Amino acid sequence: MLTQAEIEKIGRICKDLRDEIEIVVVPNENWKDFEDFARILSEACDKISYRVEDREGLYKPAMILKKGDRENIIYNAIPLKEELEPFLKTLITLSNGVQMKEVKDLEAEIKVFVMPICPHCAKVVETVNSFAVANPKIKSNVIDVSRFPDLMQKFGITSAPTTIINGEIKLTGYISKDELLEWLRRASGDYKKEYFVTLLNERRLDEIKEIIAKNPEDIRILAELLAHEEFLVRFGAMVVIEQIAKENPKVVEIAKDVIRKLLKHEDFRIREDVAMLLGSIGDESDIEFLEELAKDESEEVKDSALEAIEEIRKKR
């Protein structure tokens, strides 16, 4: 599992540990290598101990890094090869403590999905763990998808590293400390509009639909993006709203007031696009708004409004 050189390296880092760390191994039917790894650590370093304890509400098997009553760093992975270095750095900072004022007011649950021989995973894990060490309200969960293919499927992981914040924000590939910090700040506030813009630009439309399926009110945020300055964002928002209208028309009704207001937008292109959208997703209740728009000074807008009315009437 570990080479003699790696075991000796673990022994050397013990000299840098101040406080004791306990590794809680959470078992399942296939967990012995987790215990073996924890045992090797404890034998190589007198500041590290381990015990086996069943826990509910966790993916298993797992290792919880515990210092005092802090248990906010969890590994559903055995950190070997490239992952060993950030793991050892985490042990040092967890034992000794670290100050990081940038994260002191934040709160988040972060999952980092990694794979063996991943060139960028180690650095992302190191960053996320450093935030968790600095702030106990930030939870870090490192998951090896080669060992947990069910979680790979559940969370739609297609590459590593993939970082998921609070179960919604999904960041693929390498992400720097500053970038991750910015996303944590957004996650702690009103972030969804900016996140939807990112997903639309990256053509990750199904992820937007998944978010709205969990919280239908979020379709109002998507509807606001019909007036975004970037065409690709506006177009993507239209596509998603049309898809949702086909799959679950009641959800689209939640955003109808937002969409109708955009019929009076100062930009004629927005008025034209929204009229076209209403022709696709609208019903009899939208006709009066489109009839008013048919008096617009722009010929393009008038034509779109009239076509939308005709399209709705064809649905009768």
pLDDT tens figures, 208-235: 999 999 889 999 999 999 999 999 999 9
Domain count, the chain: 2
Residue 82's pLDDT band, with cuts at 50, 70 and 90, is confident
CA 55, CA 45: separation in Å to the nearest integer?
25
Is the pLDDT score of 188 beyond 80?
Answer: no
**CATH number for the domain that contains residue 268:** 1.25.10.10
pTM above 0.85, yes or no: no
Average pLDDT over residues 86-113: 92
175 in the same domain as 42 = yes
Q: Which residues contact 68 (CB under 8 A, 6 or more apart)?
A: 19
Judge whether 243 lies within some domain. Answer: yes
pLDDT of residue 187: 81
DSSP H/E element including 144: strand 138-144
Is the pLDDT score of 104 beyond 90?
Answer: no
215 in the same domain as 119 = no
CA 139, CA 127: separation in Å to the nearest integer?
12
Is the pLDDT score of 189 beyond 70?
Answer: no
